[in-house]
Amino acid sequence: MKKKILIISGGISKERVISLETGRQVAKELTKNSYNIKIIEPDFKLLDVIKSFKPKVIFNALHGQFGEDGYIQTILETTNIPYTHSGVISSAIAMDKDLSKKIFVKNNILTPKYFLYSFDKKISELIKIIDKKLKFPVIIKPINEGSSVNVFICTKQNISRKLKLLKNYKKIIIEKFIPGREIQAAVIGSKKLGAIELRPRRKFYDYEAKYNSKAKTEHIIPVNLSRKNYKKIMNLALKAHRLINCKGVTRSDFKYYNGKFYLLEINTQPGMTSLSLVPEIALYHGISFIKLIELILKDASTNK
């Protein structure tokens, strides 16, 4: 009989729906392959369920705040049971876009210029700062959300209106908008998995483009890059993965413009839904969905 796997999904973040779908997809695949599966929400019963079910590995299917920022990982550390994906510190660093960008810059990984904004200036003053430091258009986004939640492209004309949508965040990132191609690269364990290019019909690969099938983002694999540039982007993804000491699978999001790769962010909990990129990349390289899941489980087991 195959081993017990506890899947944690759902949660309280803005990515709850995606997390539930990831959990369902992973559970469905594992159940088909004779694993003993239990799915649970990360509520006050979590530790009791872990204690009674006694899983061999915990599959963390949570996305967003609480699920990939070190909080749930801190709780799971107390169980002494292997869990998937990155640990406490790595998860916290990757989720904090300001902190991770500082690490990228320090280690010569190109990333868009940015500054932090805490809603402490008038719009006219902010526009002057942007004109001086970044130039329009810019991207505004929360420091610690995933799946492109509340990410907007702003011009001088719409920045005031867009900022109001983020007023509940104490501090946000204002980042130089980089045009060009959207290319995402995946790493699992210490190995380069592969890359995929995205051509969204929307202005950029935002939440709708990622998870709404009607948005019809075009997925291009293999990516049309020279061998040299393909090797470069995969080396950058692996470098970022190692710098933050990530485990399991990560997906690094890049913009390719004027012959340069700009790393936007690294995701320690990439989605595992029917529209998700990592399973698609894996399948292209001959790794089925169940095999991908088993590689993630194995990495958790051997790296705890």
How many residues are recorded in the chain?
Answer: 304
Helices assigned H by DSSP within the chain: 16-32, 46-53, 71-77, 88-95, 97-106, 123-133, 159-164, 207-211, 227-243, 277-284, 289-303
Q: Is 280 a catalytic residue?
A: no
Measure the N-to-C terminal CA separation of the chain; round to a whole number of Å: 23
pLDDT digits (tens, 9 = 90+) for 64-110: 889 999 999 999 999 999 999 999 999 999 999 999 999 999 999 99
Locate all alpha helices (DSSP H) within 33-95, ordered by sequence.
Answer: 46-53, 71-77, 88-95
**What pLDDT does 211 receive?**
45
Q: Considering the chain, what percentage of its residues have pLDDT values greater than 70?
A: 92
pLDDT at 203: 55
Average predicted confidence (pLDDT) for the chain:
91
On the question of pLDDT at 209 being above 50, the answer is no
Q: Which residue has the higher pLDDT, 139 or 215?
A: 139
What distance in Å separates the CA atoms of residue 259 and residue 39, rounded to the nearest whole number? 45
pLDDT reading at 234 higher than 70: yes
Record: fold of 114-176 = Dna Ligase; domain 1 (3.30.1490)
Domain borders along the chain are 4-84, 94-110+180-303, 114-176
Eight-state DSSP code of residue 207: H
Q: Which residue has 């320090």 as its token pair?
A: 106
| Rounded distance between C-alpha atoms, residue 247 and residue 57, angstroms | 14
pLDDT in tens, 145-189: 765 678 899 999 999 999 999 988 889 999 999 999 999 999 998
Q: Is 267 a catalytic residue?
A: yes
Q: Is 15 noted as a catalytic residue in this protein?
A: yes
Can 147 be counted among the known catalytic residues?
yes
Mean pLDDT of 231-251: 97
* Residue of 169, 211, 230, 256 marked active site: 211
**CATH class of domain segment(s) 4-84:** alpha beta
The per-residue pLDDT for 25 is: 95
The one catalytic residue in 11, 267, 276, 299 is 267
CATH placement of domain 94-110+180-303 = 3.30.470.20
Predicted confidence (pLDDT) at residue 206 exceeds the cutoff of 60:
no
